[in-house]
Chain A
């Protein structure tokens, strides 16, 4: 560690203003602050609220994603060997999953960070840490067999059009990870839906054993085959086909508890989103005209990417509502719409992505009216006391 510090100190001057590599200043800065505590000291006024900076906030979200990721990696292998009719041990299952998962993560980080660094250089600002989370999320919300060049394209689209165009981290309207997924979903539907893509190998000619269906429970439900749904316990544990990291509600709940405990993720958004989903499920149960609408409301919360989206995507501090009342409204509507789209629109088997993106767009509007209402309330109070 000491040697690294000495090395950084030695090369630092050439990256400062007037130095030889001045143009790479932000690249140097990014690596230095990633390795060590920043040496910047605030000189005017007192701005310190607590010792939390963006790097720490972001790394905590990554920690929260670890259970879902580990489970996802194992599940890739589990589903693959289930389809092939083999039963290897735990470690070969896990290693197979890792071998499939790592390329996705590497592509996501290399492409995304490459573009982030490029923009930081060109615009002369610091490299932001936002992509650490985005780049970690993206491999978790795509099918395991997605071609890597498609993933690279989607990451580039999400970072450039979804984020940098608006001014970089903190300025984006839409959640970048979901933007990447939406891009893939509308660009290459053949790789994002159907019953071939969710299990590693099926799309590349792996012959599944009899009785194995690679379709996600959602697709089965949308096709009206409710009796094919796996048991609630299976869906809770996550031993079902699906995008890499979203299948296990249990692992996601662990992450959610960690996010709430550390105060990084808003519990209000999570609670209201689940409430919204539950309410919509109950409404659909009331007016049920087909088997899909009769699915118990609570089971919807286990199905598909609902839990993952509401815990890790809807709570994105940049694109969610900022006001406390706004968070309740935002989360509730996101949950409500997700189930509504999922059940009633046959073109979109999963509504979570679209519901959250839609609510991202409405978040500033919600905040605006919450603030207006608060101003009115306080004005009223002011008049009363003046008399």
Chain B
């Protein structure tokens, strides 16, 4: 490429918009399901989780992209893991220092970001073959796509399962309980997170028929 590409060319912008919809890491690639089931009971941890994954993915993607020419192919996975693991430890420490309660709720799942397939997948599939700036955008896009689904799922699970949003008792304030309504205990259990994601996939595919696999 002799001519310099503008920073936000349409090709670069698609790195951000694609993962939000047609190439969503959760609903289309079906990666990172484990954490999506585990930490979507309430909105707050879901958002913190999204930010943590975004921080890890952005830094790891850029670092690996910078190093991509000097990483020996045979040990590339180990190098990638070292970068991810150091970032995860950093994020974990920051959370413990500044958001202790949420960090308690996320418990082991912060550490498990290391094993989140989305991160390894982006490093392998994108950062190893692209320049730092597109890698940065790709990281933002994928982390947002991941977070988008997490937040949608957490919204419904918190609202229907606990009757609150960000801990604020919405349903109580509008007086729904007086009519005999009760919180749905199943929403708090992991199976309902899976079913909610399933419904999101269903809605997405019925709107975007290109996503439906040929039989």
Beta-carbon nearest neighbor of A161 in chain B = B195
Q: By the criterion CB–CB under 8 Å, are B185 and A188 in contact?
A: yes
- Give complex CA distance A147, B184 in Å: 13
Query: Which label, helix, strand, loop or mixed, suits the secondary structure of the A interface?
Result: helix
Beta-carbon nearest neighbor of A147 in chain B = B180
Contact of A187 among B186, B195, B198 (CB under 8 A): B186
Looking at chain A, what size class is its interface with the partner chain? Answer: 10 to 19
Pick 8 A–B contacts, CB within 8 A, sort by A.
A149-B180, A149-B181, A186-B186, A186-B189, A187-B185, A187-B186, A188-B182, A188-B184
Q: Is A183 an interface residue (CB 8 A)?
A: yes
- Give complex CA distance A187, B195 in Å: 14
Beta-carbon nearest neighbor of B184 in chain A = A187
Identify which of residues 156-191 in chain A touch chain B, using a CB-to-CB cut-off of 8 Å.
161, 165, 183, 186-191
Q: Is B202 an interface residue (CB 8 A)?
A: yes
A-side contacts of B184, CB under 8 Å: 187-188
Beta-carbon nearest neighbor of A192 in chain B = B185
> Given that A147-B180, A161-B195 are known contacts, is A186 also in contact with B202, CB under 8 Å in the complex?
no
- Give complex CA distance A23, B195 in Å: 30
B-side contacts of A187, CB under 8 Å: 184-187
Spell out A's residues near B (CB within 8 Å).
Answer: 147, 149-150, 161, 165, 183, 186-191
- Give complex CA distance A150, B187 in Å: 14
Q: How far is the CB of A146 from chain B (nearest CB, A)?
A: 11
Query: Which label, helix, strand, loop or mixed, suits the secondary structure of the B interface?
Result: helix
Q: How far is the CB of B158 from chain A (nearest CB, A)?
A: 15
Q: How far is the CB of A313 from chain B (nearest CB, A)?
A: 20
Spell out B's residues near A (CB within 8 Å).
Answer: 180-182, 184-187, 189, 195, 198, 202
Contact of B182 among A161, A183, A186, A190 (CB under 8 A): A190
A-side contacts of B198, CB under 8 Å: 161, 165
Q: How far is the CB of A386 from chain B (nearest CB, A)?
A: 38
Beta-carbon nearest neighbor of B181 in chain A = A149
- Give complex CA distance A190, B202 in Å: 32
- Give complex CA distance A181, B12 in Å: 50
- Give complex CA distance A161, B198 in Å: 10
Q: How far is the CB of B167 from chain A (nearest CB, A)?
A: 22
Beta-carbon nearest neighbor of A190 in chain B = B182
From A165, A186, A191, name the one whose CB has the most chain B CB atoms within 10 angstroms: A186
A-side contacts of B189, CB under 8 Å: 186
- Give complex CA distance A188, B185 in Å: 6
Q: How far is the CB of A165 from chain B (nearest CB, A)?
A: 7
- Give complex CA distance A150, B202 in Å: 24
A-side contacts of B195, CB under 8 Å: 161
Q: A187-B186, A189-B185 are in contact. List 11 more A-B contacts (CB 8 A).
A: A147-B180, A149-B181, A150-B182, A161-B195, A161-B198, A165-B198, A165-B202, A187-B184, A187-B185, A188-B184, A191-B182
From B181, B186, B189, B202, name the one whose CB has the most chain A CB atoms within 10 angstroms: B186
- Give complex CA distance A145, B185 in Å: 19
- Give complex CA distance A145, B189 in Å: 25
B-side contacts of A150, CB under 8 Å: 182
